[in-house]
Chain A
Amino acid sequence: METTQLLKGVLDVAVLATIRDDDGYGYDVVRRLRAAGIDEVGDASVYGTLRRLYASGALSTYVVPSDDGPHRKYYSITGEGRTQLDEQRATWRRFADTMTELLDPSPARRAGVRTIGEKK
């Protein structure tokens, strides 16, 4: 299974997480993701994601001019972005637990899995 395929679904929350505490510009975010161990993501994907999150109101931007080169566009998280991040974090946790259990079942938790199945 390609990690890049998996990443597509979670790139939004990953990007939001990188600038939760600290504003960042495009390549800055790429660098933070790579530092966190996510190497497979293309920089254009990250820039596109930033742009989409901005369009949906999760991020705001400001431009910082540079004396010795092209200007930088910084992104910072908005209130709405934080809400999105919290929601998606919760979603991810549930999903990850479920997947972990599915792939590597432990006898103690089998009941829990069944519970989810029954709710559906």
Chain B
Amino acid sequence: MTATIDLDLQVREFAEAVRLELADLGADEVDELTDGLEADLSEQAGDSEGFTLGDPADYASELRSAAGLPERVSSRPSISESISSQSTRIWRGFVGSVRSSKLGASVLDFLASIRPVWWVARALLGAFLISQLAGRGWNVGAFNFFTVATLLVISVQWGRGLWMPRLWFRVVRTLANVLAVLVLPFALIAGMSYVTTYNYFQTYQTDSAPAGLSRDGRQVTNIFAYDSDGNPVKGVQLFDQDGKALSVRTDSTSPFLYAGGDSYLVPSAKTVGGSGWNVFPLARISQSAVESSTDRLSAGVIPDAVLFPFVTVRPLLAAPVVTAGGTPTAQSTSAPVTTPSPSPTTAPPSPAPTP
């Protein structure tokens, strides 16, 4: 299947090249001379093994002389024409020598069958170049989408040997190929850095799940407990579902926890070796109590108790109210009775001990 498509393509390109060689004869004459050429060549290729198309210039010349038409008027071949035919000749010679070996032939066949990949890559590289020249980022957007779509169609048509009304279009195509090859390393570097950034971002996100305790993505630095009567409780020890101490500490090497502003929290003094990070509420020290040179607590500092957010909260109901349906309901206990004081841990500057 691939071989058939590839052969069709080769035949079309060859016929196109022959027509270009005859271009001085006029469109009607060229049509007369080459009408049905693709069908003839395809059938010939299918008929004989090891069929090669040869040089279109020689073919055109043979066709021309057999038809009794004058030799090509080669008075003034344009520069692009002579460059093109010259390079084509060199290229064909090279391909011919590679194809003469079995390995070379199979490599060439393989490369020929993945040629459409290059057509697509060429379009992407062109779009990348345009986006860079236009000063736009290489991202998903209408501009890049439009560029890619346009270049993709042109590139594939060119690859199929179509949309080449003039000889110099071949020169343009060659230049486009050279340009695409030159842009390739830059596009790869840009692509790599994009992937790296993306990975870094991913890693960063994973790592940013905060250490210590958090609620709705925000760090919890202190916890205030109230008993069933709604009165504040000190020295509450909390554990999680696995029986582990519910520590708010984020850095196991630091003897205190920064809680915003001028505030640092320290573990309960009534535990061994500063292990009381799960005893709430944590007490507070000010920045002046931290020795900046060692990042340790200055000797003899007595932490201040922190202010509870509410003096008291609504007490729990004595017993659930049983309704006629038998479903126990309880009134909400979450709404505090008293007016909350702002920022429990950071304000006020000189904390007042709770009652």
A interface list, Cβ under 8 A from B: 11, 25-27, 30-31, 42-49, 51-52, 54-55, 63, 66, 69-73
Contact = CB atoms under 8 A, between A and B. Distances in A.
B306 to A, nearest CB: 87
Contacts of A73: 35-36, 39
B39 A49 contact: no
Contacts of B43: 27
Given A11-B66, A49-B66, A43 B32 contact: no
Closest A-B pairs by Cβ, 3 of them:
A48-B66, A73-B36, A48-B67
B246 interface: no
B322 to A, nearest CB: 86
Contacts of A44: 59-60, 62-63, 66
Nearest to B39: A70
Contacts of A66: 39
A30 B65 CA distance: 17
Q: Is the interface of B mostly helix, strand, loop or mixed?
A: helix
Interface in B11-45: 32-33, 35-44
Contacts of A51: 32-33, 63, 66-67
A32 B354 CA distance: 114
Given A27-B40, A45-B65, 6 more contacts: A27-B47, A30-B40, A48-B65, A51-B33, A70-B42, A72-B39
B245 to A, nearest CB: 79
A17 to B, nearest CB: 17
Interface residues of B, number: 23
Given A63-B35, A70-B39, A52 B68 contact: yes
Contacts of A46: 66
B44 A30 contact: yes
Contacts of B39: 25-27, 66, 69-73
A47 B68 contact: no
B64 interface: yes
B61 to A, nearest CB: 8
Contact of B36 (A26, A42, A45, A55): A26
Nearest to B8: A69
Contacts, number: 77
A47 B33 contact: yes
Contacts of B44: 27, 30, 43
B19 to A, nearest CB: 13
Contacts of A31: 47
A48 B33 contact: yes
Nearest to A47: B63
30 contacts: A25-B36, A27-B40, A27-B43, A27-B44, A30-B40, A43-B40, A44-B66, A45-B66, A46-B66, A47-B33, A47-B63, A47-B67, A48-B33, A48-B63, A48-B64, A48-B65, A48-B66, A48-B67, A48-B68, A54-B32, A55-B32, A55-B68, A63-B35, A69-B38, A69-B42, A70-B38, A70-B39, A71-B36, A71-B39, A72-B36
Nearest to B61: A44
A47 B64 contact: no
Contacts of A54: 32
Nearest to A15: B66
A34 B65 CA distance: 21
A11 B35 CA distance: 21
Contacts of A63: 35-36
Interface string B254-282: 00000000000000000000000000000
Given A27-B43, A42-B62, A52 B67 contact: yes
A83 B148 CA distance: 62
